[in-house]
Amino acid sequence: MAKAAPVSPLAPKTYPEIPPIEGVRFAVGQAGVRYADRTDVMLALFDPGTQVAGVFTRSKCPSAPVDWCRSRLEGGKARALLVNSGNANAFTGKAGKEAVKASAKLVAAAVGAPEKHVFLASTGVIGEPLDASKFDGVMDRLVTSARPDGWREAASAIMTTDTYPKLSTRVARLGEVEVRIAGIAKGAGMIAPDMATMLSFVFTDAPIAAEVLQTLLSRSVRGSFNSITVDSDTSTSDTLLLFATGAAEKRGAPWIEKASDRALADFRRALDEVLLDLAQQVVKDGEGARKFVEITVDGAENAAAAKRIALSIANSPLVKTAIAGEDANWGRVVMAVGKAGEAADRDKLAIWFGGVRVAHKGQRDPDYDEAQVSEIMKRDEIALRVDLGLGKGSARVWTCDLTKEYVAINGDYRS
């Protein structure tokens, strides 16, 4: 097992205190899936009637747990979620399918719920069979020890190369009643989500129907998890699940059956904030990361073009290594814009580093000050902005730098 990496310098200084969400309980344990002497399994239990929505990787080689969850979403109900780290149960063929079936059967029996209401997620090494029998030795204890206040432990149990647990919470009003939203996530490498992140699970006590949750979630990931990248690689295991216990209905919160319901406005705002917070925490824990980078593209022909150009910049190894070296090499940004395959005019292009314009109308800005921009590049958080001067399309994405540590971490990953 590779030596654990030091905590990212971009890690939050404190962790949020997350109060219990009625209808949700957590337990963690050591099943020995891959690692010794660390928690590697998390179980979340939900009260009857809990609604669920989800989005998953668009990889053509999805993991067995992703296939399982997709097929169970149609019912819209959830009673349990089992997550393991250390083994992704991806590219494992028939054995992988049998492992998820065995895992769901084990959880269902311990909880006293239908297998179709059990959701599963796995993260870790690809291509190695998952021994589901390892869960048998800890399942009864997990069920009996589950409690509503185990948020940080739950976030830690699902980590792989992460250096810190990722948590977020917000409060929203639904009608005249206060409801809570809280979530956890894991992810540090293989991050260029095409739906969500490695793994993320969000919970609320709001009484919202599964169909509405799905609409809200699918929209919200566009500006959060689908707008981050660490290394341009989309995982086989990307899973984001949103669970709503409905417990706030007892306090007078209205039951929501339509995504167009005006009562959802504040809930939508809070959900967006939780997902963006978690997504940005994933970037700040990017493997070997030392810089957090926000990239804004304005003036593109349309929003889709702006997004593609922004991701072209964010995924460029040359841009990312320049940032790691604290070099304001705006020529690499020009390169990334030009290769994106979208409309661009060299002579209309403008580029800013940290609010300072460095390039304008096809050449270096006449007021460019190397010393001023060099100071900006020393910051932990750096903003890059590009204006193409062609239209009204805009987009914003987040990434990190690319350092020698990224190579070391991934070179040793299976060691």
The Cβ of residue 37 has, within 10 Å, a number of other Cβ atoms equal to: 8
Alpha-carbon Rg for the chain, nearest whole angstrom, is 22
39 given a catalytic annotation = no
Find the Cα–Cα–Cα–Cα dihedral 238, 240, 241, 242, rounded to 10°: 180
Q: Please spell the DSSP secondary structure of 15-60, one letter per residue.
A: -------TTEEEEEE---SS-SSS--EEEEEE-TT-EEEEEE---S
Q: Read off the pTM.
A: 0.94
Which of 50, 197, 204, 229 is catalytic? The answer is: 197
Nearest alpha-carbon partner for 194 in 287, 61, 53, 386: 61
Write out the two tokens for 190. Answer: 């293989």
Phi-psi region of 210 (alpha: psi -120 to 50; beta: other; left: phi over 0): alpha
Q: Report the run of H or E that residue 357 belongs to, with start and end.
A: strand 356-360
Measured in residues, the chain has a length of 415
Write out the two tokens for 373. Answer: 């921009």
Say which amino acid occupies 206: A
Q: How far apart are CA 56 and CA 42, in angstroms?
A: 19
Give the 3-state secondary structure of residue 165: coil
- What CATH number should be reported for the domain whose range is 24-284? 3.60.70.12
Q: How far apart are CA 40 and CA 122, in angstroms?
A: 10
Q: Would you say 415 is a known binding-site residue?
A: yes
How many alpha carbons fall within 13 Å on the CB side of residue 252? 5
Torsion 190-193-194-196 (CA) sign? positive
Q: Would you say 176 is a known binding-site residue?
A: no
How many alpha carbons fall within 13 Å on the CB side of residue 96? 22
Q: Would you say 232 is a known binding-site residue?
A: no
Q: Would you say 134 is a known binding-site residue?
A: no
Q: How far apart are CA 351 and CA 386, in angstroms?
A: 5
Regions in the chain scoring below 70 on pLDDT: 1-5, 189-198, 413-415
Q: Where do the structural domains in the chain lie, given as residue ranges?
A: 24-284, 292-411
Best CATH choice for the domain 292-411 from the list 3.10.180.10, 3.10.20.340, 3.40.50.1370, 3.40.50.280 = 3.10.20.340
pLDDT of residue 191: 58
Tokens 């054995």 identify what position? 95
Q: Is residue 80 a contact partner of residue 107, using CB atoms and an 8 Å limit? A: yes
Q: Which ranges of 123-264 would DSSP assign to H, the alpha helix?
A: 133-145, 151-157, 210-220
Q: How far apart are CA 46 and CA 32, in angstroms?
A: 25
Q: Would you say 197 is a known binding-site residue?
A: yes
Tokens 């460029």 identify what position? 316
Tokens 């809280």 identify what position? 182
Write out the two tokens for 246. Answer: 């409905």
Beta strands, E only, 129-273 = 166-174, 177-186, 199-204, 239-244
